[in-house]
Structure 1
Amino acid sequence: MLINKLIRLSSQDSVRKLTIWSLSILLLFLGFYVNLWRAAKPAWFESHQRDTEAHIMGRMVKSRHDGIFSAGGLNGDGIIEDIPKQWESASGLQRQYIAYLNDLAFDRFSTYNSQPGGQGMLFSLFDKLLPLPFKVKLQFFYVLTALLTAIAISAVISWFYQEFGLWVAVCVLVTTLFSGWLTVFGKNLWWSTWAFYLPMIAVLYYLKRQREEADRQFLRFGILVFIAISIKCFINGYEYMTTTLVMMTVPCVYYAILEKWGKQRILKFTLATCIGSGVAILLSLIILCFQIGTIRTGFVDGITHVIYSIGKRTYGSAENFHPVYAASLDAGTIEVVLKYLNGVYFDLNNYLAKEIPFISNWIFRIRYSYLIVFFIGVTVLLLQQIKQTISPEHRQQYFALICTTWFSILAPMSWYVIFKAHSFIHTHMSFLLWQMPFTLFGFALVATVFNRKRR
């Protein structure tokens, strides 16, 4: 009888997990693919980062005519010298899409050399294998990318459900649906947003299932980190690399506090993380240098480009770079961080016919600085609950959630501070980092507090 009852309970729990997972994927996919929840203004949704995505179009055209590994397999833009008259007025960006959809060939090809271009290679492979019209294939690529991003974030939401229950999972899901930045990035072929979350998800579920120390545990963990980071580097290169690395360690902080890891275990996991990720990044950079070498004069040119690229994105001396980078290199770190604190997470004006100047700008636009203040208040409330009303067996879990939430803010901040020059220029896109994964954990904190008050 007891065994049968346990089997039924296990089955019911599995059904609930599957339901949460499926519903989350569906709702997120609809937001990422067609902006169904209007989290972003239609014009923004349709145009966001089309310039970078055009590099993927260019790569697929180049691959179609010259092979997937032509031009080192790197992404880039093509030039058609004698373009048909009906497309003469099209911009360089538009011509990449025109060339792909109309099976035109490039006369010249300019590569983007700061990432391996794995996503372009994979889409090029699919483009060759799928016997479909070009328009249908392009939509398939969007569907695939939006779906993978929805699956990745749903994996995080499912973890919240397993750790903290239905109310917390639903809250994280709903607030994520209305993130304008995740919405506009969700199906972009260049960014392939799911790859940023992959290392964190791998670590999250590994630590959840490996709760006790075992033989070769740290070796397996290091290999897992190596594989996850290698995939990320291959798919979208070194974009937001520090954020990805810090985000990957977020589950370690949670389980270290929850399970009260000893110093030796912390040290071993730290070493496994550093070695696994370090080797993955180094190997990826070596491959990139060889790729660059195939289109220039050799491997050393690749090294030179990597060093130059890091310098212009961080704290290089302005006099050593093109004048266009001077303002970003000379900008103060605090100035950059303040810009991102002022960014908008959710805009209520998307649902209004008319905007009221002050109210629309400072009240209806929910800024990240507002969320941080709100999360601080919620943290204070939860700390009070831990002291007064939460049972001893659950205190450590909620304390772990608090610590993990505030550790996770280091993920976006790491990029804003270390890659200050890049962040200064790219204020049209780097607000996405607040969702990696700080806001997800922040809203989990909110749901936890209000769920307990509701009870």
Structure 2
Amino acid sequence: MKFEIVEFLQRYRQYLLYVVSFIVFFLSFQSNFFKAAGPSFYVSLNDSESLVVLSILNASSNQPSRGLGLYTSPLSIGDIYGAFSDKKSNIITLPYPSQFGLQGHLFSALHRIFNFNDIQYYRAINSFILAGLLALIVSAVVFELGIFAAFGMVFSIVASPWITIFAKNLYWMTWTWILPLVVVLLLYNPMVQRFLNQRRLIYFYAFAIFIKCLCGYEYVSTVVIMSSIPLLYKAIRDNVSLKRLFVDGALLFVVALVSFLAAVVLHSLVRADTPIHGFYDTFIRGSQMSTGFVASAVYPGLDKFVDMSAWSVLRNYVVNWGTPPVAFFTVSFPFIVALHVLAAVNLTTRTSRKSLALGVCFFYSALAPISWFVLFKVHSAIHGHMNYVLWFSPFLVIGWMVLFFSLASNHNSEKDCFAQSNKLGDL
């Protein structure tokens, strides 16, 4: 009997790992099962989510869907959520112009079908999709790097107050940040390639970036860099030429850029009376506002944020954490990063290509959050109450993977710590 159980676990371990990690993630995101975030944490994101709630309320009054709503009556955020629960739809709203608002269209359509009066049902959709995508990544990590690295990934996510509060939010649609990364992972999966060739998967990647941009341009540089990490890992592990790495990386970047521009064009068509005015308001004025070129001229109150240097903004996100990066331990962000750096350096000095690839990817992943902090410093300066989540996209997540993997392999042979598969494509 014992042998049969062991044989069953070995045969179906991939599916069992997926199911277990999915359940852990879903409980963490939907119900804060591990108490990683306090109630006050969620309040900081209510102002953005209320835009989607207003869009749903607009749909309740049988008005045509117009993306996201921006309330014009003197209501508090609590009043908006209360109106949703009470099924009141007499709130005067105006369209939110800063993005296409795909999430508003999506949840408005779902509300017309199901008419739930509890917003948690709609939030559960986001929790479900994000948990499913992350569980796929966990499965890939287990069979490429072993259980210790996968445990580090799961720990970093469920112990993060920031991921916990963002995961189910109707506005942020966090799963759209992860989808491009998952598509790139699938690019190297022979089982997937039996049904979808690489060209079609590139189309899926373009669609994933397009969907992300339609749900908001926030953090798009982070999302693109994050999605390229599997490409870099495979290149180092398989010792491919720099030319091939550059060509593949350039392809991802060009596809992402085209998808971004396609989203801007679609947004422009619905934002203004003419496509030219819409493009100017969406792309030119929007980028100028986020980077600080004209923000102070349009909104004088933003002077103090515009005048901040990129270094000051970045420093703020390094040393001025209001809450611990890890929910269950009172440790500072610099201390955690120092541990991760030491572990990554340890990996890069080994002979194994996998160790080298993982260590290099950790350092490369720092570019994902830093790109947004620096390139869009005004947005980062204004949103200092929430942009800390970018450190988990995926710098700190990979950091914990590196730390757990390094510690485990120091006490065991690398053969035991690595997964049975020698190729990411064998997943």
Deviations 1:302-322 (A, max 9, x none): 223222221111131455331
Pair 1:417 & 2:374 matched: yes
| CA spacing shift, 1:271–1:62, aligned 2, 3 Å | same
CA distance in 1, matches of 2:113, 2:251: 38
Pair 1:34 & 2:14 matched: no
CA distance in 1, matches of 2:387, 2:257: 24
Pair 1:188 & 2:145 matched: no
Q: How many residues align?
A: 406
Deviations 1:415-445 (A, max 9, x none): 0010111101111110000111111211111
Residue number in structure 1 paired with 2:112: 128
Task: Tell me which amino acid in the other structure corresponds to 1:16.
Answer: R
Cα pair 1:345 1:367 within 8 Å, conserved: no
Cα pair 1:40 1:350 within 8 Å, conserved: yes
Residue number in structure 2 paired with 1:84: none
SS at match of 1:238: coil
Residue number in structure 1 paired with 2:287: 310
Task: Tell me which amino acid in the other structure corresponds to 1:31.
Answer: S
Residue number in structure 2 paired with 1:431: 388
| CA spacing shift, 1:317–1:144, aligned 2, 3 Å | closer
| CA spacing shift, 1:444–1:110, aligned 2, 3 Å | same
Pair 1:238 & 2:217 matched: yes
From 87, 106, 117, give the equivalent of 1:103: 87
SS at match of 1:365: coil
Residue number in structure 2 paired with 1:300: 276
Q: Give the TM-score of the pair, scaled to structure 2.
A: 0.87
CA distance in 2, matches of 1:210, 1:264: 27
SS at match of 1:190: coil
Identity of aligned residues (%): 23
Task: Tell me which amino acid in the other structure corresponds to 1:299.
Answer: P
| CA spacing shift, 1:264–1:365, aligned 2, 3 Å | same
| CA spacing shift, 1:319–1:33, aligned 2, 3 Å | closer
CA distance in 1, matches of 2:294, 2:332: 33
| CA spacing shift, 1:174–1:349, aligned 2, 3 Å | closer
Q: Give the TM-score of the pair, scaled to structure 1.
A: 0.82
Cα pair 2:67 2:96 within 8 Å, conserved: yes
Task: Tell me which amino acid in the other structure corresponds to 1:415.
Answer: W
Task: Tell me which amino acid in the other structure corresponds to 2:152.
Answer: C
| CA spacing shift, 1:56–1:151, aligned 2, 3 Å | same
Residue number in structure 1 paired with 2:305: 328
SS at match of 2:331: strand
Cα pair 2:159 2:327 within 8 Å, conserved: no
Deviations 1:349-371 (A, max 9, x none): 977xxxxxxxxxxxx53232222
| CA spacing shift, 1:129–1:217, aligned 2, 3 Å | closer
Cα pair 1:318 1:330 within 8 Å, conserved: no
CA distance in 1, matches of 2:290, 2:331: 29
Pair 1:93 & 2:66 matched: no
Cα pair 1:58 1:76 within 8 Å, conserved: yes
- Following superposition, the deviation at residue 111 of structure 1 comes to 1.9
- Following superposition, the deviation at residue 103 of structure 1 comes to 2.8
- Following superposition, the deviation at residue 133 of structure 1 comes to 4.4
Pair 1:15 & 2:12 matched: yes
Q: Give the structure with higher Rg (CA).
A: 1
Unmatched segments (≥5 aa) in structure 2: 413-427
Q: Counterparts of 1:132-171 in structure 2 under 5 Å?
A: 133-135=116-118, 138-171=119-152
Residue number in structure 1 paired with 2:69: 76
Residue number in structure 2 paired with 1:340: 317
- Following superposition, the deviation at residue 343 of structure 1 comes to 5.0
Q: CA RMSD in A?
A: 2.7
Pair 1:368 & 2:333 matched: yes
CA distance in 2, matches of 1:9, 1:308: 61
CA distance in 2, matches of 1:401, 1:158: 16
SS at match of 2:410: helix
Cα pair 1:343 1:431 within 8 Å, conserved: no
Cα pair 1:57 1:100 within 8 Å, conserved: yes
| CA spacing shift, 1:206–1:350, aligned 2, 3 Å | closer
SS at match of 1:382: helix
Cα pair 2:183 2:201 within 8 Å, conserved: no
